Amino acid sequence: MHDQADELRQLVLRSAASARVPVAPPPPMVVVSGGKGGVGTTTIAVNLAVVLARLGRRVVLVDADLHQPDATALCHLNETDSLIDVLVGRRTVHEVLQPGPAGIQVLPGAWAPQTMAECSPLAQQRMLAELRRLGLHADIIVIDAGSSPDPVTGRFWQAADLVLLVTTTDSAAIMDSYAAIKLLAAGEEHPPAISTLVNQSTDPSLDADVHLRIGQACQRFLNLEIGAAPAIPLEHEVALAGRACKPLVTYSPHCAAVPALESLAEHVLGLVGSGNRRQATQTTKRTGAA
């Protein structure tokens, strides 16, 4: 009982201290998500964060995949304190942030699917509110939300200024991407702006077909306009970078994927970096569902 009471007092003190922090405009949130596993959401999220930092932005990367927190490993960080500690109220975001590659700040994740039950809407909203108060310290927040279309991922989508929905040209990945949009965005009063992103690209014409198929389905059945982000080419050194626990752009800075990732970063900044948040590729009309 003493430990619980002491922990509660510390939480109250931290909350009071947070309330005294000067207010700044909230940094835009970019959620990187997928309809199915294996499409490379973590690779995209980590490398996007690093490229944005190289462009002079102060970046916070959040490893929010409770099923597979690979972003933390890819940044070669330990999991002493993690996003889980923030969700359950043991720590604040400021107390958990760790320095990552290229000067980014990382909110580490932890493998804890059992914590899904503890991740109540209130706990998640409290953490998101803390992230929004990072305006004095961050220009943009990149959230690796993984590929599980569950309520936790859905709340990240709804908090986002932009969702980058990662897919491949595989038919199953395309169908799962549409299903994720239908489940997590359709029917919401204020749906997030969504751009599909083809990863592991080998043919620009196939990429265009992916964007067309998802876009037409969303427009026809969900009445949602979906944008298209620059594709990222298939890069065999991704696996080597992963084994070295390094982002691809630092492990192999001259590989073919780096210019594409730089184009992606410019695309993101063009959508959320100038204050035009929740306006990119978004429509508010919905008339039906598939």
Rounded to whole angstroms, the Cα distance separating 94 from 107 reads: 9
Q: How many CA atoms lie within 13 A of 245 on its CB side?
A: 8
Residue 76 to residues 3, 17, 69, 206, 250, Cα–Cα distance (Å): 32, 30, 12, 34, 13
Residue 106 near residue 72 (C-beta atoms within 8 A): yes
pTM, to two decimals:
0.86
At 284 the pLDDT is: 34
Tell me the CA end-to-end span of the chain in Å, nearest whole number: 52
What CATH number does the domain containing 77 carry? 3.40.50.300
Placement of tokens 């199953």 in the chain: 172
Q: Is residue 5 part of a domain?
A: no
Rounded to whole angstroms, the Cα distance separating 281 from 39 reads: 23
CA triplet 44, 49, 51: central angle to 5 degrees? 95
DSSP states of 64-97: --SS--HHHHHTT---SS-HHHHHTTSS-HHHH-
> Which amino acid does the sequence have at 119?
C
At 184 the pLDDT is: 92
Domain count, the chain: 1
Q: Is residue 30 part of a domain?
A: yes
Range of the domain at 196: 24-272
Q: Is residue 283 part of a domain?
A: no
Q: Is residue 284 part of a domain?
A: no
Q: Is residue 285 part of a domain?
A: no
Q: Is residue 245 part of a domain?
A: yes
Averages of pLDDT over runs of 10 residues in the chain (290 residues) are: 50 55 83 94 97 97 89 87 88 94 93 63 92 94 92 92 97 96 88 95 97 96 96 95 95 95 97 58 38
Q: Is residue 217 part of a domain?
A: yes
Q: Is residue 16 part of a domain?
A: no
Residues recorded for the chain:
290
At 215 the pLDDT is: 97
At 12 the pLDDT is: 53
At 274 the pLDDT is: 47
